[in-house]
C-alpha cells in the first residue's frame, strides 16, 4: 500500500509541475492526492509515526493524533499567510504602493536596474517575493514603455525578489515554513543568509549592466493620468510594512507562534484603514446593513481579493507531504540519500536547482521531514537559501516568476536564453559565500 501512496504523490507532483501544460490549477491535484493518501492510510490501517528530531528516530502514534498534529502545523502557516495577504491588500486599497514610484528619478537604464533590484530585494523581505514582484512590475509598466527593455527588467526583478525573500522569515513561503516549523530563528537566519542573498542579487545585476539591453537612457517618465492617489496612501504603506516587520519582534518577545503576532498586526492596520476610509467597522457581520457598507470598507474589499487557491494549495501539498512523513518514508529516503551522497551541501544544492523545475513548497516540506537536525542548524539555513533563490533559474521555478510571466507574457524560452545564466551565476556565488561564512565565520 505504501507503494500506491508514493505513486499517488508522484502523479500529483507531476500534475502540479505541468500545471500550465494541463491547464489545471495546481490546487486540484494537491487536494486530491492529499485526501486519497490519507484515505489509503486509514483504510489499510497503516502504522503512522512521529519523527523525534532530538532522538533522530520514529515514534509510533495514532492516526487521529498525527493528522491533527500536522493539520495544526499547516494551519499556523495558512493563518499567518492570510493575515499577511490581507495587510498587503489593505495597503493596495489605498494605492499605497504608488508611493514607491516617487523613488524613481533617473532615466539611466543602469540606474533604474539598480533601483528596481534593490527595491525588489527589500520589499520581498517584508511583503514576500510574490507581492513585491506584482507591485514592481506594475510600476515598471508605468515607467518603461518599450516592451523588449521591460522584459529584461522584469527578469532581473524576479531574481532580486527571490534573493530578498530568502533571508527573511516573512519573505518567502518556504522560509516562513522553516521559521514557523521551528527550524530557524530570525536572527540566525539573517546572519547566515543575508550576505549570500546580497551576493545572489549583485552578481546578476553587475553582469547585466554590461549587456546592450541596459545601455543608454529610457524615454521620459510620464505621470499616469489614471492613478488615483489617496492622501493616506503613504501612511498606510509605512504602517502596513511596519506591522509586518513587527511580527518577528512579537514572536521573539512573547515566544508565541508567528500567526498570533500577524493577527495583532492585521487588527491594528485594519483599524486605521477603517478610520481613514470613514467606513463602518463591521468585519464579521453578513447582514444587509453590512453588505451596504461592504464596497466602502477596505477590510471587506481586501479580504475578497485574497488568493484563496494558493491557500488551498498549501493545505493540500503540506498535508500530502505530512502523509509521507508520518509513514516514515521521508525518514528512510533521507537515510538512503545520505548514504548515496554523503555530502549534505551537494544534496541541498541539487534541491535548489530542482526547485527551478519543481515547486519549492513541497521540496522544502519534504526536506523538513527528511532531515532531523535541531533548530538553527546550518542545514536549514542553506535549505532556505537554496530553495528561495534556486527557483530564479527558470520562469516557472518560483511564484514570482509565474506571476511575472502572466503580467508581461514572458516566453519560457526567452527567459531561459536571457536570464537563466545570470540567475545561475548569482545562485552559485551566494552558495559559495554561504559555505565560507558557515565554515570560517559563524
Q: Taking the model in full, what pTM does it have?
A: 0.78
Strand partners, 48: 61
| Residues whose CB is less than 8 angstroms from the CB of residue 85 and which lie 6 or more positions away in sequence, other chains included | 131, 306, 307
Question: What is d(CA 324, CA 5) in angstroms, rounded to the nearest whole number?
Answer: 8
Angle between helices 378-390 and 344-354 (to 10 degrees): 30
- The reported pLDDT for the residue numbered 285 is 47
Q: Which of 340, 345, 365 is nearest to 355 (CA)?
A: 365
Per-residue pLDDT of the chain (442 residues; tens, 9 = 90+): 888 998 998 898 888 777 777 788 888 988 999 999 999 999 988 888 776 554 456 677 788 888 998 899 889 888 888 888 898 889 888 888 888 877 777 888 899 999 999 999 999 999 888 888 888 888 888 888 888 889 999 999 999 999 999 999 988 888 988 998 889 999 999 999 999 999 999 999 999 999 998 888 877 655 555 555 677 888 898 999 899 889 888 988 998 988 999 999 999 999 999 888 874 444 554 444 444 444 568 888 888 888 788 788 888 888 988 888 888 887 777 677 777 887 888 988 888 888 887 767 777 877 887 777 888 899 999 999 998 999 899 887 887 887 888 788 888 889 999 999 999 999 999 999 999 999 988 7
Kindly provide the residue ranges of all beta strands, DSSP E only, lying in 289-397, ordered along the sequence.
none
- The reported pLDDT for the residue numbered 217 is 83
Question: What is d(CA 420, CA 423) in angstroms, rounded to the nearest whole number?
Answer: 5
Q: Which of 416, 419, 421, 427 is nearest to 348 (CA)?
A: 427
* Cβ atoms 265, 244 nearer than 8 A: yes
Element (H, E) at 59: strand 57-61
Cα dihedral sign for 332, 336, 337, 338?
A: positive
Q: Which of 87, 165, 146 is nearest to 400 (CA)?
A: 165
* Three cell numbers written together for 427: 545562485
Helix, strand or coil, per DSSP, at residue 49: strand
Question: What is d(CA 337, CA 66) in angstroms, rounded to the nearest whole number?
Answer: 25
Q: Which of 271, 229, 257 is nearest to 96 (CA)?
A: 229
Question: What is d(CA 134, CA 395) in angstroms, rounded to the nearest whole number?
Answer: 14
Q: Which of 28, 43, 3, 25 is nearest to 324 (CA)?
A: 3
Which alpha helices (H) appear in 167-214, and where do they start and end? 173-180, 186-208
* Cβ atoms 364, 174 nearer than 8 A: yes
CA distance between the termini of the chain: 45
Rg (CA), the chain: 22
For the chain, give the number of residues: 442
Three-state SS for 237-290 is HHHHHHHHHHHHHHHHHHCCCHHHHHHHHHHHHHHHHHHHHCCCCCCCCCCHHH
* Three cell numbers written together for 103: 523613488
* Cβ atoms 381, 155 nearer than 8 A: no
Cα dihedral sign for 140, 144, 150, 155?
A: negative
Question: What is d(CA 274, CA 293) in angstroms, rounded to the nearest whole number?
Answer: 11
Domain of residue 88, residue span: 2-440
Domains identified in the chain, total number:
1
Question: What is d(CA 2, CA 29) in angstroms, rounded to the nearest whole number?
Answer: 19
| Residues whose CB is less than 8 angstroms from the CB of residue 107 and which lie 6 or more positions away in sequence, other chains included | 217, 218, 219, 220, 221
Question: What is d(CA 9, CA 30) in angstroms, rounded to the nearest whole number?
Answer: 9
Amino acid at each position: 500500500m505504501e507503494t500506491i501512496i508514493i505513486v499517488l504523490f508522484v502523479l500529483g507532483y507531476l500534475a502540479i509541475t505541468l500545471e500550465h501544460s494541463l491547464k489545471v490549477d495546481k490546487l486540484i491535484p494537491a487536494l486530491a492526492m492529499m485526501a486519497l493518501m490519507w484515505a489509503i492510510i486509514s483504510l489499510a490501517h497503516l502504522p503512522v509515526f512521529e519523527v523525534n528530531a532530538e532522538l533522530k528516530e520514529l515514534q509510533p502514534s495514532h492516526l487521529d493524533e498525527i493528522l491533527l498534529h500536522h493539520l495544526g502545523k499547516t494551519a499556523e502557516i495558512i493563518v499567518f499567510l492570510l493575515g499577511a495577504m490581507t495587510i498587503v491588500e489593505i495597503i493596495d486599497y489605498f494605492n499605497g504602493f504608488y508611493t514607491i514610484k516617487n523613488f524613481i528619478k533617473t532615466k539611466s537604464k543602469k540606474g533604474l536596474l539598480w533601483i528596481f533590484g534593490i527595491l525588489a530585494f527589500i520589499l520581498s523581505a517584508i511583503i514576500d517575493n510574490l507581492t513585491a514582484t506584482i507591485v514592481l512590475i506594475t510600476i515598471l509598466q508605468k515607467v518603461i514603455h518599450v516592451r523588449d527593455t521591460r522584459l529584461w527588467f522584469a527578469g532581473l526583478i524576479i531574481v532580486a525578489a527571490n534573493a530578498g525573500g530568502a533571508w527573511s522569515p516573512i519573505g518567502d513561503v518556504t522560509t516562513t515554513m522553516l521559521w514557523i516549523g521551528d527550524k530557524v530563528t530570525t536572527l540566525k537566519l539573517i546572519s547566515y543568509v543575508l550576505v549570500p542573498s546580497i551576493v545572489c542579487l549583485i552578481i546578476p545585476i553587475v553582469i547585466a549592466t554590461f549587456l546592450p539591453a541596459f545601455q543608454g537612457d529610457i524615454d521620459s517618465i510620464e505621470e499616469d493620468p489614471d492613478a488615483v492617489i489617496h492622501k493616506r496612501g503613504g501612511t498606510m504603506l509605512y504602517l502596513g510594512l511596519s506591522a509586518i516587520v513587527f511580527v518577528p519582534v512579537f514572536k521573539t518577545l512573547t515566544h508565541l507562534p508567528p500567526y498570533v503576532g500577524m493577527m495583532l498586526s492585521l487588527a491594528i492596520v485594519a483599524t486605521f484603514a477603517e478610520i481613514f476610509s470613514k467606513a463602518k467597522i463591521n468585519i464579521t457581520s453578513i447582514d444587509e446593513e453590512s453588505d451596504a457598507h461592504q464596497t466602502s470598507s477596505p477590510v471587506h474589499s481586501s479580504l475578497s481579493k485574497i488568493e484563496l487557491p494558493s491557500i488551498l494549495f498549501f493545505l493540500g501539498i503540506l498535508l500530502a507531504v505530512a502523509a509521507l512523513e508520518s509513514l516514515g518514508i521521508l525518514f528512510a529516503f533521507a537515510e538512503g540519500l545520505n548514504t548515496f551522497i554523503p555530502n549534505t551541501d551537494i544534496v541541498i544544492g541539487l534541491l535548489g536547482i530542482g526547485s527551478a523545475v519543481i515547486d519549492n513548497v513541497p521540496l522544502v516540506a519534504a526536506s523538513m521531514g527528511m532531515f532531523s537536525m535541531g533548530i538553527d542548524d546550518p542545514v536549514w539555513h542553506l535549505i532556505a537559501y537554496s530553495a528561495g533563490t534556486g527557483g530564479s533559474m527558470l520562469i516557472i521555478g518560483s511564484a514570482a516568476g509565474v506571476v511575472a510571466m502572466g503580467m508581461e507574457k514572458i516566453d519560457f524560452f526567452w527567459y531561459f536564453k536571457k536570464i537563466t545564466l545570470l540567475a545561475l551565476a548569482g545562485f552559485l556565488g551566494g552558495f559559495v559565500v554561504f559555505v565560507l561564512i558557515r565554515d570560517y565565520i559563524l
